[in-house]
Amino acid sequence: MKIPRFTLEHWMRRYEAAPPRHSLAGSAGPCWTVGEVLALGGVDPDEVMTTPILYAPFEGSTELRTEVANYVGVQPEDVLITTGASEAIAILIASHAEANGNVVVPSPGYPSFAGLTQVFGMEPREYRLRREDGFAIDPDRVLSNVDPGTRAVIVNSPHNPTGSLASREALLALAAALNDRGVTLIVDRVFHSPGDDAEPWGLDELPGAIPIGDMSKALSLPGLRVGWIADRDVARRGPYLDLRGYFTLSNAPLAERLATIALQHRGRVLARRDSVARTNLSALALVIDRHPAVDWVRPRGGATSFPWLTSGRDARPFCERLAEAGVLTVPGDCLGYPDHFRVGFADNEPAAFADAMEVLAEALSREDDQAAA
């Protein structure tokens, strides 16, 4: 079996030993320390020292599953805790694997969607999110990829890397059509925050849909490696448990406890992330709007943007020069769009982000000059 190259992580690893001064390559929120999370819940750090270094419960602790259920809008028994959303994606794709099957995935999109579909012996079918549509989901374009072999459709909203949002109308139409065809809708909501410019929807409105989430993106705690699957269908949940047994078995009790505290105080966690994201996105917009060498669709949610070079040139050399100047971004070829590059705007405090914007502006000025020559 040939494993698809995870180009995004190869790019990140290239700069791990000697990282540039500013990293805008990430997609999480502002960093929290263990002490800050404990302080949210008024927990004495000495109390944490008694946490046993054992396996956490197989499905996740009761306390954590209860908090996730409250957050998502399901019952605790509907929740399976996973090792990040990465394991959630792997479990769901593996549980739907079938010979000659296919999974319909967004393009651009997180590499795991298509890559894991291939790993588990199925065909990834891409529905393209187009610039001219503001990278919005068109249900008809998604459904045009669905046939009797389709096992699942994946929607990511807010979308990584573009920051677009699936409209409530589009999601409801897509869910209804897929439910009629017996196809599972997987909704990746790792970037969801109440601060997003989106019409709210409830899981009851999406028949048969399975939302996944994690503590890494909107909740800004990627080092906990805690994610979840929320599925009300008892029959579907059985294989998830078997697959988790084969994959990671369980999480760390300390990570689950910290995740529980953060979810209990998620209003404060999300408010901090949303404040940083709004401030930094405004700063990024000022830079991009000043330079004809680059254009974008301004994100409406999430933590990433996906501008493109108006020359149509491959953005990787630009990203390499930018990294040498002290700012790490992600070249679009890591996500299948070579003339684009990804800029994260939620995980740097505004002062540091402003410094990075000065470097980006200088680099774009050189691109402007080159285009005008």
Q: Where in the sequence of the chain do the CATH 3.90.1150.10 domains occur? A: 7-33+267-366
Stretch(es) of the chain classified as CATH 3.40.640.10: 53-264
Topology classification of domain 53-264:
Aspartate Aminotransferase; domain 2 (3.40.640)
Q: Spelled out in words, what is the top-level CATH class assigned to the domain 7-33+267-366?
A: alpha beta
Rounded CA gap, 302 and 282, in Å? 14
CA distance 58 to 101: 29
Helix (H, G, I), strand (E, B) or coil at 296: coil
Contacts of 19 (CB under 8 A, 6+ apart): 328
Cβ proximity of 125 and 148 under 8 Å: no
372 burial via Cβ count (<10 Å: 0-12, 13-18, 19+): exposed
Per-residue pLDDT of the chain (373 residues; tens, 9 = 90+): 789 999 999 999 999 999 999 999 999 999 999 999 999 999 999 999 999 999 999 999 999 999 999 999 999 999 999 999 999 999 999 999 999 999 999 999 999 999 999 999 999 999 999 999 999 999 999 999 999 999 999 999 999 999 999 999 999 999 999 999 999 999 999 999 877 766 667 788 899 999 999 999 999 999 999 999 999 999 999 999 999 999 999 999 999 999 999 999 999 999 999 999 999 999 999 999 999 999 999 999 999 999 999 999 999 999 999 999 999 999 999 999 999 999 999 999 999 999 999 999 999 999 988 877 6
Pair type for strands 123-128 and 102-107:
parallel
Q: What span, in angstroms and rounded, lies between the C-alpha atoms of 119 and 27?
A: 25
| Pairing, β 102-107 against β 150-156 | parallel
Note the pTM of the prediction, 2 decimals. Answer: 0.96
Q: Distance (Å, rounded) from C-alpha 259 to C-alpha 171?
A: 29
Residue 256, Cβ density class (10 Å: 0-12 exposed, 13-18 middle, ≥19 buried)? buried
Backbone angles phi, psi at 37, to 5 degrees: -65, -45
